[in-house]
Amino acid sequence: MALRMSIAAMSVLAVAAVLVVAGTAAAAASCPATPPDAGATLQVSHAFGPCSPLGAESAAPSWAGFLAEQAARDASRLLLSYADSSLQAALSQDTLAVAGDVVKAYTFGCLQRATGTAAPPQGLLGLGRGPLSFLSQTKDMYGATFSYCLPSFKSLNFSGTLRLGRNGQPRRIKTTPLLANPHRSSLYYVNMTGIRVGKKVVSVPASALAFDPATGAGTVLDSGTMFTRLVAPVYLALRDEVRRRVGAAAAVSSLGGFDTCYNTTVAWPPVTLLFDGMQVTLPEENVVIHTTYGTTSCLAMAAAPDGVNTVLNVIASMQQQNHRVLFDVPNGRVGFARESCTAA
């Protein structure tokens, strides 16, 4: 059996995921516990960290339901174990074809049974820095360098791009140093030093943004999480300033885990993420989520969930969409540039 990976078949690129399920739906469906043409199979129960459980797709969820479900998924995504999920997975090995490239003896996780939060049935590509990730296994080929542009989460087709290897990457791009945490080695930590709303840098305690490998505190970039989560003091400061800028004339309401929503058209201020050596000003499409029906719109961020990730700021896919995000591991840097990659 040969696995053929097509970017178009993936709806989520999980940068933080370590255990990998890659393949087209057809390949995944026949993914065997014991591959006939490959080596031994190892039974694992999420010993390698995050791995998204597959679940039944819920029928036509409401918008608020969708947001609530996504928030629950986001909350559990980065945890090193799934408290409320049970997973049964096998490690398989096979030849993986990526466009014209061939990866021999590629090791990937094959989920056999999973309960808990839903994951895309197409699987997850592990672009983290852990030893089992796609990136680590193809280091000789792609030099641990890649970039992606995620399309709008509303786009029906995955129209974004994933570029593997050093060739074709943007040469002139704003970058910030990549930080490594030996305790959470698959995550892409960066040094976020502040947040600006409009022209005002919101006031947050330095400790809320500081990188601390011992506690896991700091900021990571993660495409497997949908909405940015900020540690409570940072989120509250940002939210309060956004509310102040929008003005008291509009009534604030909550919806599906978001606490700063308006049911009328309001003027949202731009939000700028300040990193060591790099500023990223997010336009409204990266800051605000609009309901499909009606006029309600919400600040598409939330406070970090309780648990091990309470101290972690996660810059998620909604905030990255329509940007080229470059992960240059050998040179220890991450780059950001606007790029429109959502096809109509």
Residues near ligand NAG (CB under 6 A) are: 156-157, 179, 191, 193, 211, 251, 253, 263, 276
Q: Compare residues 157 and 340 and give the one whose CB is closer to ligand NAG.
A: 157
Nearer to ligand NAG by Cβ, of 179 and 299: the residue is 179
- Tell me whether residue 89 or residue 179 sits nearer to ligand NAG (CB atom): 179
Question: What is the sign of the dihedral through the CA atoms of 248, 250, 253 and 259?
Answer: negative
The amino acid sitting at 289 is: I
Shortest CB 194 distance to ligand NAG, Å: 9
CB of 253 to ligand NAG, least distance (A): 5
Residue whose pair of structure tokens reads 């956004």 in the numeric block: 242
CA distance 332 to 344: 35
- In the complex, minimum distance from the CB of residue 214 to ligand NAG, in angstroms, rounded to a whole number: 13
| Cα→Cα distances 211→176, 179, 251, 303, 308, Å | 14, 8, 36, 18, 15
Q: How many CB atoms lie within 10 A of CB 24?
A: 16
Closest to 66 (Cα-Cα) out of 255, 248, 267, 286: 255
Per DSSP, 30 falls in state: T
**CA dihedral of residues 192, 198, 204, 207 (deg, nearest 10):** 0
Residue 45 vs 157, nearer CB to ligand NAG: 157
Q: How far is the CB of 255 from ligand NAG (least distance, A)?
A: 11
If you search the block for the tokens 């997010």, which residue do you land on?
282
Q: Quick one: 125 or 278, whose CB is closer to ligand NAG? A: 278
Of residues 58 and 157, the one with the C-beta less far from ligand NAG: 157
Shortest CB 87 distance to ligand NAG, Å: 30
| In the complex, least distance from residue 155 CB atom to ligand NAG, rounded to whole angstroms | 9
Q: Which two tokens stand for residue 71?
A: 């928030």
Is 26 strand, coil or helix? helix
Q: Closest distance between ligand NAG and the C-beta of residue 261, in Å?
A: 9
Output the six-digit token pair for 288.
């605000």
**Burial profile 259-269: b = 16 or more Cβ within 10 angstroms, e = fewer:** bbbbeeebebb
Q: Which is nearer to ligand NAG, 17 or 221 (CB)?
A: 221
